[in-house]
Amino acid sequence: MENQEQIIRTDYAELMQKSYIDYAMSVIVSRALPDVRDGLKPVQRRTLYDMHELGIRYDRPYRKCARIVGDTMGKYHPHGDSSIYGALVVLAQEFKNGMTLVDGHGNFGSIEGDGAAAMRYTEARLQKITQEVYLADLDKNVVDFIPNFDATEKEPSVLPVRVPNILVNGAEGIAVGMATSIPPHNFGEVIDGVIAYMKNPDITTKEMLEIIQGPDFPTGGIVVNKDDLEQIYETGNGRIKIRGKVEIEKAKGGRERLVITEIPYTMVGANIGKFLNDVYALVETKKTTDITDISNQSSKEGIRIVLELKKGADAGNLCNMLYKKTRLEDTFGVNMLAVSKGKPETMGLVEIIRQNVNFQYELATRKYRTLLEKALEKREVQEGLIKACDVIDLIIEILRGSKNIKQAKNCLITGETKDIRFKTKASEKAASLLRFTERQATAILEMRLYKLIGLEIEALMKEHEETVKAISFYEDVLGSRASMARVIIKELKAFRKEYAKPRKTLVENAAEAVYEEKKIEEMPVVVLMDRFGYVKTVDEAVYERNKEAADSENRHVIFCMNTDKICIFTNTGQMHLVKVLDMPYGKFRDKGVPIDNLSNYSSSEEDIVFIGGLGNIKEKKLLFVTKNAMIKLVEGGEFDVSKRTTAATKLGEGDSLLSVSPVEETDTMVMQSEKNMFLRIAVSEIPQKKKAALGVRGMKLAAKDTLTDVFVIGENEEKIVKIKDKDIYLNRLHVGSRDTKGVKK
């Protein structure tokens, strides 16, 4: 009988929705977000556990990272070596973590964004804190072990971390539709916060913030919105403002220098280079003239970025400018999202500590339950051996009279003496009264003869006393939550004593950085643009001294104020605005910069049809003419806009802007076509429209004819063009009507 295919009909949208939700939850829970209990993402947890299993302890030699990555990928995390090595590198970077969990040997990157060396070169081992605080007691059944991806190994579902690692080291992760961003905190303060919660579970966020002052970034810096922290830590959401630390040092000649010794945590990596570029830009654009030199003198000892200042410079005002204009003051977005009981949840500070304390009680309960079971087994064996020492002669007689070990063991457990040869009836009777447990009988049969030495028996008795004490202690811890709390607090205090470090980040309420920009002295300048599109500004006097060369070498010469903007109209109907202050100001022979770099104008895609100063344009009317002879007048004030690029006119299909000219009511204009048709009309006859309008037809063009030139003629002005060696006096042409064919010349 042939197998019948079973076709299951389902709604496509429903199937896609289910599949995407499954994928999203997998990313959220199994990849991107940390577990609130150990504060680790799966890749971090698996990497640390693998190092533990490989025996790469803090007191043993380093091992190649390639070995760690390969082992982790093969056993626990089949998602590519780059993600595992990336996680391993971050775990070793002291500028990223409150506490580094991996001790890296070799090039593990730098605070300035340099990447780590390839994993075949670098080596690593666990830190002491990781071994003692994050991975201890894994052999005591404190956490559940689950099958790995192919069910050939077992891995812990969570590590038995004894402190709220999610607060100590923070977390960053982007999942599907959600992201987590938790700042690092001071190890000692976090432990004090946990202890305070254990003593008072009703502690408020405000009270907790007296103990855990706020974030403690490994890069230091200053948190400047202390008053906002209560709301942020209550809800688990908000924005923390952080500033770099700036010191003012005295230099030679009565000068001062600004020295940045600590940076905002958000500046770590490539943003240090961006900060330097931003400072360079402030100097180049003349936003400040007080900085004479910038140097990055940072080293392994720490950050040191030096800004040399002019004599008499206002260092305080300049510092505020850096806060306002660069990333020396930045915001850290807080979103305390973590996986709790298998689901993503946003939690406040106290809730995170509450969940962690519950986890500590769970770890302690499982640990001491396991220890108690082992101690009870140990006591049972010890009591059996002590009892055996009292009747050792009888036991030896049983062993010598037994045919096999099974017979002897049965006698020790049940007193069965059948088929065992005894020397006397008394011995047989005594043997029949023996009632050792099976575990005790096994220990007696495995006992070595040297254990019968007097000192060994004394040691056994002492060990038994210690076991009895331990059992009493374990039972007390398991029977009383207060006793368990004392044990947990004692361990936390020991961790604090050994591993706590002084706080690096200062938390305060700082005044808003106020920067008083120096008023720019307004003065007339001349903007010069050469045929290659390089632009610069010069003083009017410089232009007058070099007038002939300036006019011959430059395509555009514009007189304006230095506070003005330049309007660039292009054949695509766009207008680009450029601040004159953004253009380099200097000597006549300076090269200048490409106009493309200062604006959205692209010389490879657009042609300039008109360029002028906004200050001059906005007081006039502009005449727009397209190649298809569409014309209109537009008020110049319409181009006084804030956008860097705006549509200057609407164009018909296949049309392009030919000319833009400032005009007066008394002017006339002449349109010249490719086929040498000329039409002169009065500007007063041209309708005024908005910049977004299409315009009206100015001249009837023959088939396949287009306009090539437009001439504006002032009152009593003479203008001549040459056609086939013949002079055409445009001012003598008859003034015709708009939308006519014109005359042939």
Cα–Cα distances (Å) from 597 to 242, 530, 594, 600, in that order, read: 32, 15, 6, 8
Element (H, E) at 558: strand 554-561
SS3 659: strand
Q: What is the distance, to the nearest Å, from the Cα of residue 679 to the centroid of all Cα atoms in its chain?
A: 64
Report yes or no: 304 and 261 within 8 Å, Cβ to Cβ: yes
Report yes or no: 577 and 645 within 8 Å, Cβ to Cβ: yes
Rounded distance, CA 187 to CA 175, Å? Answer: 27
Rounded distance, CA 711 to CA 733, Å? Answer: 12
Element (H, E) at 24: helix 12-27
Q: Is 121 a catalytic residue?
A: yes
Report yes or no: 395 and 447 within 8 Å, Cβ to Cβ: no
Rounded distance, CA 548 to CA 42, Å? Answer: 73
Closest CA to 189 of 474, 505, 411, 461: 505
Angle between helices 349-390 and 438-446 (to 10 degrees): 60
How many CA within 13 A on the CB side of residue 701? 19
Report yes or no: 265 and 181 within 8 Å, Cβ to Cβ: no
Closest CA to 81 of 123, 55, 118: 118
Q: How many residues are recorded in the chain?
A: 745
The DSSP letter of residue 289 is: S
Rounded distance, CA 35 to CA 338, Å? Answer: 6
Rounded distance, CA 242 to CA 24, Å? Answer: 33
Q: How many CB atoms lie within 10 A of CB 219?
A: 23
Closest CA to 363 of 156, 651, 630: 156
Q: Catalytic residue among 121, 134, 280, 729, which?
A: 121
SS3 185: coil
Both tokens of 56, joined, read: 């790469």
Q: What is the distance, to the nearest Å, from the Cα of residue 369 to the centroid of all Cα atoms in its chain?
A: 42
Enzyme catalytic residues: 121
